[in-house]
Amino acid sequence: MDAIKPRLASLVHLTRPLALAFVGIVLMSLGFAFLLLWLIQPGPTPDLIYYTLLFFIPQPWRALLLISAGLIVLGLGIWYLSDMVVLPLPHGAAHEDEIVVSSRRDTRPLRVVVMSGGAGILVLSDLSESVQRMTCITPVQDPVEYYYRASNLGQLPNMYYIVPTPDPLKVYAELDDGTLINVMHIDHHPELAPRHVARLMLLPSTTTGRLLAPADAPALQQQVVTTPLPQVVRDAIRTADAIILGPGSLFESILPNFLLDELREAVQQSRARTIYVCNLMTEPGLTTGFSVGDHIRQIKRYAGFTPDYVLVNVQRIDPDIREIYAAAHQVPVYLTPEEYEETSVPASAQMSQKQVLIEGSVIIETDLASAVIQSRASITKPGESRAVRVLRHDPEKLKLAILEVLRRI
């Protein structure tokens, strides 16, 4: 029975062509039945059957009419059916064991939902011109900054902003050394740079203190927040064709929203494809030492799914930029050699080129970043700043990469 259920479930994608084929066969059967009835001269017929089955039309013409209609409907069903094919996916692929591929292209503009940081939405703003609707769900702990950044974008088309909770919440992290701290203040503590997040907690806005003692953990656990999800958020997720996670801080901007049970369940139940824009660099005190696979596993841990596609930057980084980031305990986020060797899927009849899968996510490596000049404050000399070259997601490159993924949907 366990082996039969997945096979039957895959037929849901073929409901329309199979239904048309069934109706066509029924009509043809009725037509042939009328031919037989005409040959054997049927007796009186009730009015309901008389009009429903077209008895007011001479029987030979009625039979030919139904047979013709049946052939047309059956042909239509077969036409739709021949336009589709069910292919088995490689072992470990996300969501289903099979994929339905159609040669028909849906030309309807897509609807996307974005969950990213405030800076991330600025990077993705141009994407709104290429979709039917782009709904941005603000981070639970910082909707004010999000709206402030959004106001600088002016009146962009098809772009909307909604909050997942009526009031902002606070997100605390327990680091791998037991430190409890508000995730938005980790960068204020350089001594925490070598650490990474071991656990996230969603707490009321009344929680006081930025850096707490490990002994406070049991009390904080009792304050974990549950809040109803607004209907507008549910509708946006339900009707989305794609959900984009990032760009933005993994533990500050993306994962906190998934601590809301109803939001997490809404995304899990959505038929939308998910795209994760992986960070360019590790984040001190948050993702120190993380590879691409580690980022994906954290999404799986907190969101309960793995993204369908993960965009990873593979641009060569100049040595001087690497040195700047290395001084801040940051390194590029790349696939490790082990991830390449253990998760590579050879090309096959279904795939024209070799792909890398991690936890079922398809990894797409491409050039996503550009170096920009940015003024940075000095930690050792407050009040002073210097111009440095930093790496940022390039809006145009990222837009083109996402649109290419959306074409696959």
* Cα 35–chain centre separation: 55
SS3 331: coil
Q: CB under 8 Å to 201, separation ≥6 — which residues?
A: 171, 172, 173, 174, 220, 221, 224, 259
* Domain presence at residue 129: yes
Q: Is the pLDDT of residue 368 over 90?
A: yes
Q: How confident is the model at residue 166 (pLDDT cuts 50, 70, 90)?
A: confident
Residues 137 and 30 in one domain: no
Asked if residue 292 and residue 333 are part of one domain, the reply reads yes
Task: Specify if 206 maps to a domain.
Answer: no
C-alpha distances (whole Å) from 126 to each of 120, 143, 148, 252, 403 are: 12, 21, 18, 23, 11
Whole-number percent of the chain with pLDDT over 90 = 38
When pLDDT is averaged across residues 60-89 and rounded to a whole number, the result is 69
Q: What per-residue confidence (pLDDT) applies to 347?
A: 47
Q: Taking 70 as the threshold, does the pLDDT of residue 390 lie above it?
A: yes
Same domain, 126 and 66: no
What's the chain's average pLDDT? Answer: 79
Model confidence pLDDT, tens digit, residues 305-330: 999 999 999 888 888 889 889 988 99
Q: Are strands 309-313 and 159-162 parallel, antiparallel or unpaired?
A: unpaired
Lowest mean pLDDT among 48-52, 103-107, 257-261: 103-107
Is residue 366 in some structural domain? yes
- The mean pLDDT value for 248-259 works out to 94
Residues paired with residue 243 on neighbouring β-strands, in sequence order: 113, 274
The reply to whether 130 and 236 lie within a common domain is yes
List pLDDT tens digits, range 12-58.
Answer: 566 776 777 777 787 777 777 766 566 545 556 666 666 666 667 77
How many domains does the structure of the chain reveal? 2
**Are residues 274 and 319 located together in one domain of the fold?**
yes
Q: What is the CATH number of the domain that holds 338?
A: 3.40.50.10680
* pTM of the predicted model as reported, rounded to 2 decimal places: 0.71
Are residues 153 and 53 located together in one domain of the fold? no
Instruction: Read off the tokens for 44.
Output: 């009186």
